[in-house]
């Protein structure tokens, strides 16, 4: 692949989230106002969300490989990463819900219920477990001209 790969982006997301998480305890100790504590909670929530997207990206990449080659190890890797993504989403939902009432009405997307999306993350895991190789027919996928199918 040319450029930055999805797996490299996932690693960057995890590294940035870990950096943020390492500083949380100190930030909480030093926060002197409610606004500061709210910001620290937001930092924690975003760190969990970054871990979620990193694991979800790895899971999608492994599942794409499994679709291509049918190697059970790739499906197992996809399931493992999507299970991690589900755990990270649960942490994100826990922190987010401790600060914000659920569900929330956002003017552009409508009603959003972060904890309710846990069911979607669990469904991702089950989808990967049930995936059959060659499910995706690349010839039928509409892509922008400069997009290339995933390959080894």
Lowest pLDDT segment from 79-93, 94-108, 138-152: 138-152
| The pLDDT of residue 149 | 67
Instruction: Name the strand (E) or helix (H) holding 65.
Output: helix 34-69
Mean pLDDT across the chain:
94
Enumerate residues 6+ apart whose C-beta is below 8 A from 114: 92, 93, 96, 97, 102, 104
For 55-88, how does the pLDDT look when each residue is reduced to its tens digit (9 = 90+)? 999 999 999 999 999 999 999 999 999 999 999 9
Instruction: Name the strand (E) or helix (H) holding 106.
Output: strand 104-106
**Is residue 103 very low, low, confident or very high in pLDDT (cuts 50, 70, 90)?**
very high
In the chain, where the domains are located: 6-138
**Is residue 151 very low, low, confident or very high in pLDDT (cuts 50, 70, 90)?**
low
Average pLDDT over residues 23-34: 95
Residue 66 CA to chain centroid, in angstroms?
A: 19
Enumerate residues 6+ apart whose C-beta is below 8 A from 98: 41
Rounded distance, CA 12 to CA 61, Å? 16
Reduced to 3 DSSP states, what percent helix, strand and coil does the chain have, rounded to the nearest 5? 70, 5, 25
């Amino acid at each position: 692949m040319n450029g930055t790969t999805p797996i490299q982006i996932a690693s960057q997301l995890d590294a940035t989230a870990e950096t943020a998480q390492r500083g949380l305890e100190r930030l909480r100790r030093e926060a002197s106002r409610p606004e500061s504590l709210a910001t620290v909670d937001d930092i924690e929530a975003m760190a969990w969300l970054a871990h979620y997207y990193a694991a979800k990206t790895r899971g999608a990449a492994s599942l794409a490989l499994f679709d291509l080659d049918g190697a059970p190890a790739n499906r197992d890797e996809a399931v493992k990463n999507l299970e991690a993504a589900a755990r990270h989403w649960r942490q994100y939902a826990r922190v987010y819900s401790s600060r914000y009432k659920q569900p929330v009405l956002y003017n552009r997307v409508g009603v959003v219920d972060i904890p309710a999306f846990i069911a979607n993350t669990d469904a991702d895991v089950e989808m990967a477990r049930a995936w059959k190789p060659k499910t995706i027919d690349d010839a039928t996928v509409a892509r922008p001209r400069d997009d290339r199918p995933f390959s080894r």
